[in-house]
Amino acid sequence: PRGEWVLKWPGATLIAGSSIFWTLEVDQTLRNDGHKGITEYFTKVHEQLLELTRIVSGKITKLQRKSLGALITIDVHARDVTSSMRDAGVSSVTDFAWISQLRYELAGAGSAHGDEGDTLVRQLDGVFKYGCEYLGNSMRLVVTPLTDRIYLTLTGALQLFLGGAPAGPAGTGKTETTKDLAKALAKQCVVFNCSDGLDYKAMGKFFKGLCTAGAWACFDEFNRIDLEVLSVVAQQVSSIQQAMQAGLTRFT
């Protein structure tokens, strides 16, 4: 039963496993029963969420409470997506309302995107291998419709081996949203505060570290870097992007 295994596994495993089950169940429901099935499945998702809230209200350890807190955040989003699909009359697995969501699945035999049993994350045409990076038992960001749109934009850029530049007023969650997408894909995300004291050599070393570790980076206050340095940094970023597009493992 779900009420038992959610207390037995680490937070990252819980969220990944729960997301795989949700994707599989919604996919099968749409294929077999269409819109009627989604209406019935919403009841199940809602009951699972109520079960988690009952467990959190009980006697559990601090670590379990933190894991379940993150899982509830993800489950609330799953419930909201299921509800909006029900209200929109979604009846096909190819409907935009469904394929625009982050969908987790296990790679089958002969998959072009990974070995059999690997966890894959899909969104529209983008397919990403789950990073399996240990990020600690951290909380997750509450997902809103705006967050979903940012995820869509960033995963679209990632699929093309490009980056993203979220813009907006200070304190609106640009960095946190990017970090949360990294958590969703199990990738390490390093936040770096730029200043006018940076030179191209320091940035070059930073990029080397990112490439070696396969990590993401958020460059806060990127506009503070001097223009003379920025032109060289742009060339460094371009070299990395071109190497990724060519599928190279080493480049200069």
User: Does residue 76 sit in helix, strand or coil?
Assistant: helix
CATH 1.20.58.1120 fits 2-103, yes or no: yes
What's the CATH code, domain 145-245?
Answer: 3.40.50.300
Residue spans per domain, the chain? 2-103, 145-245
* C-alpha to C-alpha distance for 144 and 150, rounded to whole angstroms: 10
Are 194 and 200 a contacting pair, CB within 8 Å?
no
Q: What is the pLDDT of residue 110?
A: 75
Report CA-CA distances (Å) from 119 to 111, 129, 139, 199. Answer: 11, 6, 21, 39
Nearest Cα residue to 136 out of 183, 191, 194, 75: 183
Are 247 and 215 a contacting pair, CB within 8 Å?
no
Question: pLDDT tens for residues 171-214?
Answer: 888 999 999 999 999 999 999 998 888 889 999 999 999 999 99
Question: pLDDT tens for residues 92-147?
Answer: 999 999 999 999 999 887 777 878 889 999 999 899 999 989 888 888 999 988 89
Q: What is the pLDDT of residue 196?
A: 87
